[in-house]
Amino acid sequence: MIEHPDRNLAMELVRATEAAAIRAYPWIGHGDKNKADGAAVDAMRKFLGTVDFDGVVVIGEGEKDEAPMLYNGEHVGNGNGPACDIAVDPIDGTSLTAAGRQNAISMIAVSDRGTMLDASSVFYMDKIVTGAAGRGGVIDIRKPIGENIRALAKALDKDVSALRVAVLDRPRHAQLIEEIREAGAGTRLMLDGDVAGGINAARYESRIDMCVGVGGSPEGVATAAAIKALGGFIQGRLVPSTDDERQKGLDAGLKFDHVYEADDLVSGENTFFVATGVTDGEMVAGVRRLGPIIRTESIVLRSHSGTIRRVTADHLVSKWLEE
C-alpha cells in the first residue's frame, strides 16, 4: 500500500520553517541576503532530517542567483514514512529580509511522490491567482487583464474600483500595471514575495483579490499546493528567457504555449503548505524577540481536509540565539 502524508507531517514540517525563520532573524535588515538565506537553509535542512518521511526536493531554491540551497533531487527526512515530493524555500524574499522589508516567509509545500511538476529548468512563469470566485471559467489567463478584472468583480459582487491586484514591481510589468489601472482596479506592488502574494489573493480575509504577472516558476508550483488547500484558482504559462532555456524545458517534458492548471502543477489531492513569517506580512507575522522568548507565527494548509491552521509558538532565546 502507498503511504500518504498525514496531518502529523504538517505539524512536523512547521518546526523546520520555524527554525529557518528564527535563524534568519539576526540578519533581518543587515543587507546580506546570502547570509540570511544560508542560515535559514542550514536550519531547515537540519530539522527536515528528523521528520518521519522520505522527501525528495522537486523544487529547490538558489539556482537563479547561486545562493545557498536545498538542491533539486536532494533527499530529506529520515527515510521512514510516506514518500513525498517537496518544494522548499527557506526564505521566499531574501532581498526583503536583507532590507528589513515586509512579506518574507519560510515555506515548504508537500505532495505525494510523483505529483509535483518539476519546472526548475525554466525560471519564470506568467501566473494569475484568485480565490474560489475565479473558478468555473470566470478567470482565464489567455484573456486580457481588464476582462479578467471585470469578470472577477462581477463574481465577487464588487465594484471594479474596489478590486486590488498584486503585481511584482518589475520593469517587465509596466504595461500590465497600466492596464490594471486603466481597467479601474487598484494595484498592490510587491517588491518580492511571489508566493505570499499568490496565497493572499486566495485567502478570503485578504485585502488582495488577484495576483498576476511573471514570477518564478518554482514559486508557482509551491503556490499551487497552497491554492489547492484554499480552494482557490491558479493558472500559469512558462516564460523561457532564452532559446537555450526553452530547449532545456522541452527536454524536461515541459510545455510551452500551454496553460498549466492547478492539477497540472500539483496533481495530488493531499497537499500541504506550511509557512512561517520571517518579517511581518499580511499572511503571517514575522519573528519577534520578546525578552527571553522568540515568537513565531505560521500557517498550515491541507487540501485533503480543507483546513487552515495558525500556529503561534514561543521559543526560549537561550535555545536559539547566541547572546
pLDDT for the residue numbered 61: 60
Tell me 3's DSSP state. P
CATH code: domain 9-116+271-319 is 3.30.540.10
pLDDT of residue 62: 47
Which residues are annotated binding-site positions for substrate? 92-94, 124, 170-172, 192-194, 216
Q: Where in the chain is the domain with CATH 3.40.190.90?
A: 124-265
Q: What is the pTM of this model?
A: 0.90
Average pLDDT of span 43-51: 90
The reported pLDDT for the residue numbered 147 is 98
Burial of 184 by CB count in 10 Å (0-12 exposed, 13-18 middle, 19+ buried)? Answer: middle
| CATH number for domain 124-265, candidates 3.20.20.60, 3.40.605.10, 3.40.190.90, 3.30.499.10 | 3.40.190.90
Cα 39 to Cα 27, 32, 72, 110, 221, distances in angstroms: 9, 11, 19, 22, 24
Binding residues: 37, 61, 89, 92-94, 124, 170-172, 192-194, 216, 219
Which segments are annotated as binding site for Mn(2+)? 37, 61, 89, 92, 219
Paired strand residues for 301: 273, 308
- Residue 109 has a pLDDT of 93
* Percentage above 90 pLDDT, the chain: 74
Q: Where in the chain is the domain with CATH 3.30.540.10?
A: 9-116+271-319
Residue with the larger pLDDT of the pair 314 and 308: 314
Is residue 9 predicted with pLDDT exceeding 90?
Answer: no
How high is the pLDDT of residue 304? 81
- Rounded to 10 degrees, the C-alpha dihedral 165/205/91/17 comes to -160
